[in-house]
């Protein structure tokens, strides 16, 4: 074994080169360097408190670890082929810098509780970053909603025109959706803040290290894992963050799909800014919504990363197994994908241009059929009968080739004698949305209230 390996005393032959390459993870987990060093600094203080090192050794360890941290931060760290993982690399470099005291740092600690601590710290920071990205997208949607609280457009079910809504109301639907994503991330952070450090390889430590004191140095943690087996075997925090990320990806994909459809020539409800569109290599006229298509496409990666980890974990016995080395690449990929994707989504939404005239042009009389049924209900007709009567009127208008507002009064009175010329006042989309004043409805006054509420909740008055 090499001089700086963390193991190997019982081996008589070195690791085969192909096995070394297959086993090593430094290229992936080097991004945990800052977290690994933070955990080591806390551990050095715990060793001092347990009288396992003296004050001079503690000082040398802290100085050396800060020097290694600076090398990583300034991109000066030189990796060696013998650096099996981030833990090996840090300890190897620490020994080069301060000598013998470095050999005491691993006292009472295993890579098992060390990596669990590092990875939890990373996940907490990553979740907070994603919360910030979600906030920016929410604010962009709120800005659009504010501008278009009274901009009427068709609402859809089954991608068929259903009832009139406002574009502002549509924007706020995604704000609500993203808020649930934000809450899931906050919940995940809360469950991740249980410290595994000091659990050892699996059985705890017998050297008198007081684990509770570690939370004073590592203040991201507010409790200590209470079972040493679970402390090193747990990857729920990774799975939970991957699930939250996958669902964010699904929500972004739904947003993207709407905007792809709405930006098409057939709809023309919105236009994406040139900065978030691309062209065609052969068709000069094309303006493609590639920012949205990538958001839609990358959701598959986010879902796949979740499935990958769950598949890896499903058959693992307690406690640590090398399979768990495969937990980082899916998580890193999901975090990186969402970090940039959410920024692109926020910028694209903020800069898109709504086209109210095209939205209004897509509204026809049949989209007010439910309003007509409601008018029958106000006359005392049971809704099920009203539904059937309006259905017959829609069928009759199609037979005659006219809109509902052009249908002769006699046709209306044939199905409902109590109707008079006031029935034609129903065919006003602005009136229709203005009457949807129930809590959560699409009425412009309700949308404006929700915009004000969201600006307050999101911290932008």
Whether the predicted pLDDT of 3 surpasses 70: no
Q: What pLDDT does residue 460 have?
A: 62
CA–CA–CA angle 126, 180, 234 (5° rounding): 45
- Is the pLDDT reported for residue 142 higher than 70? yes
Residue 4: the pLDDT is: 62
**Burial class for 326, CB neighbours closer than 10 Å (0-12, 13-18, 19+):** middle
- One CATH from 3.40.50.700, 3.40.830.10, 3.40.50.970, 1.10.40.30 for 365-457: 1.10.40.30
Does residue 87 have an active-site annotation?
no
Q: How confident is the model at residue 7 (pLDDT cuts 50, 70, 90)?
A: low
- Residue 87's CB is within 10 A of a number of other CB atoms, namely 25
The one catalytic residue in 12, 158, 206, 281 is: 158
Exposed, middle or buried, 151 (CB in 10 Å: 0-12/13-18/19+)?
A: buried
Mean pLDDT to the nearest integer, 288-317:
98
The pLDDT value given to residue 10: 80
Give residue 1's pLDDT: 36
Q: To the nearest whole percent, how much of the chain has pLDDT over 70?
A: 98
The tens digit of pLDDT for each residue in 309-339 reads: 999 999 999 999 999 999 999 999 999 999 9
Instruction: Check 149, 169, 280, 308 and give the catalytic one.
Output: 280
pLDDT of residue 448: 98
In the CATH scheme, what architecture does the domain 17-107 have? Orthogonal Bundle (1.10)
- Could you state, in order of their start, the residue ranges of all structural domains in the chain? 17-107, 112-152+166-361, 365-457
Burial of residue 278, with CB atoms counted within 10 A of its CB: 0-12 exposed, 13-18 middle, 19 or more buried: middle
pLDDT at 134 over 70: yes
Task: Domain 112-152+166-361: give its CATH code.
Answer: 1.20.200.10
Q: What is the pLDDT of residues 342-385, one digit of tens each?
A: 999 999 999 999 999 999 999 999 999 999 999 999 999 999 99
Residue 27 has pLDDT above 50, yes or no: yes
- Quick check: helix, strand or coil at residue 456? helix
Q: Which of the residue ranges 19-23, 143-147, 419-423 would you say has the lowest mean pLDDT?
A: 19-23
Beta bridge partners of 288: 278
pLDDT exceeds cutoff 90 at 15 = no
pLDDT at 40 over 90: yes
- Looking at residues 123-130, what average pLDDT do you find? 98
- 84-116 pLDDT, tens per residue? 999 999 999 999 999 999 999 999 999 999 999
DSSP secondary-structure letter at 269? Answer: S
> Can you say whether the dihedral through the CA atoms of 80, 82, 85, 91 is positive or negative?
negative
Helix (H, G, I), strand (E, B) or coil at 84: coil
Containing 177, the helix (H) or strand (E) segment is helix 167-192
Average pLDDT of the residues in 46-71: 98
Share of the chain above pLDDT 90, in %: 94
Rounded Cα gap, residues 171 and 258, in angstroms: 11
Q: What is the pLDDT of residue 6?
A: 72
How does the average pLDDT of the chain come out, rounded?
A: 95
280 catalytic residue (yes or no): yes
461 has a pLDDT exceeding 70: no
Say how far apart CA 30 and CA 34 lie, in whole Å.
9
């Amino acid at each position: 074994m090499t001089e700086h390996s963390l193991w190997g005393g019982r081996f008589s032959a070195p690791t085969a080169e192909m096995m070394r390459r297959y086993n090593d993870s430094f290229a992936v987990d080097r991004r945990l360097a800052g977290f690994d060093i933070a955990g080591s600094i806390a551990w050095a203080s715990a060793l001092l408190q347990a009288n396992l090192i003296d004050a001079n050794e503690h000082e040398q360890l802290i100085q050396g670890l800060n020097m290694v941290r600076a090398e990583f931060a300034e991109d000066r760290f030189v990796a060696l082929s013998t650096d099996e993982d981030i833990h090996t690399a840090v300890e190897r470099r620490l020994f080069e810098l301060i000598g013998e005291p470095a050999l005491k740092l691993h006292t009472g600690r295993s890579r098992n509780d060390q990596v669990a601590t590092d990875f939890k710290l990373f996940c907490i920071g990553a979740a907070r970053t994603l919360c910030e990205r979600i906030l920016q997208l929410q604010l962009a949607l709120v800005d659009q909603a504010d501008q278009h609280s009274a901009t009427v457009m068709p609402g859809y079910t089954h991608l068929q025109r259903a009832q009139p809504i406002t574009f502002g109301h549509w924007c706020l639907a995604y704000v609500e959706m993203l808020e649930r994503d934000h809450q899931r991330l906050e919940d995940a952070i809360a469950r991740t803040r249980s410290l595994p450090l000091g659990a050892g390889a699996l059985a705890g430590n017998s050297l008198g290290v007081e684990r509770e004191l570690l939370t004073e140095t590592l203040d991201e943690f507010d409790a200590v894992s209470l079972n040493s087996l679970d402390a090193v075997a747990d990857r729920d925090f990774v799975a939970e963050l991957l699930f939250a990320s996958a669902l964010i990806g699904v929500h972004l994909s739904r947003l993207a799909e709407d905007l792809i459809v709405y930006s098409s020539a057939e709809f023309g409800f919105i236009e994406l800014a040139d900065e978030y569109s691309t062209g065609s290599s052969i068709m000069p006229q094309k303006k493609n919504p590639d920012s949205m298509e990538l958001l839609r496409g990358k959701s598959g990666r986010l879902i796949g990363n979740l499935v990958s980890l769950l598949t890896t974990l499903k058959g693992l016995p307690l406690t640590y197994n090398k399979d768990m080395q495969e937990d980082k690449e899916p998580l890193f990929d999901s975090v990186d994908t969402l970090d940039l994707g959410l920024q692109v989504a926020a910028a694209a939404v903020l800069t898109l241009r709504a086209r109210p005239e095209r939205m209004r042009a897509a509204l026809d009389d049949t989209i007010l059929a439910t309003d007509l049924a409601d008018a029958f209900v106000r006359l005392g007709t049971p809704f099920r009968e009203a539904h059937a009567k309006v259905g017959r009127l829609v069928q009759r208008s199609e037979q005659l080739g006219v809109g509902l507002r052009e249908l002769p009064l006699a046709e209306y009175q044939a199905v409902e004698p109590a109707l008079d010329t006031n029935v034609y006042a129903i065919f006003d989309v602005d009136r229709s949305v203005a009457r949807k004043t129930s809590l959560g409805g699409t009425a412009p006054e309700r949308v404006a209230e929700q915009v004000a509420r969201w600006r307050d909740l999101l911290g932008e008055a």
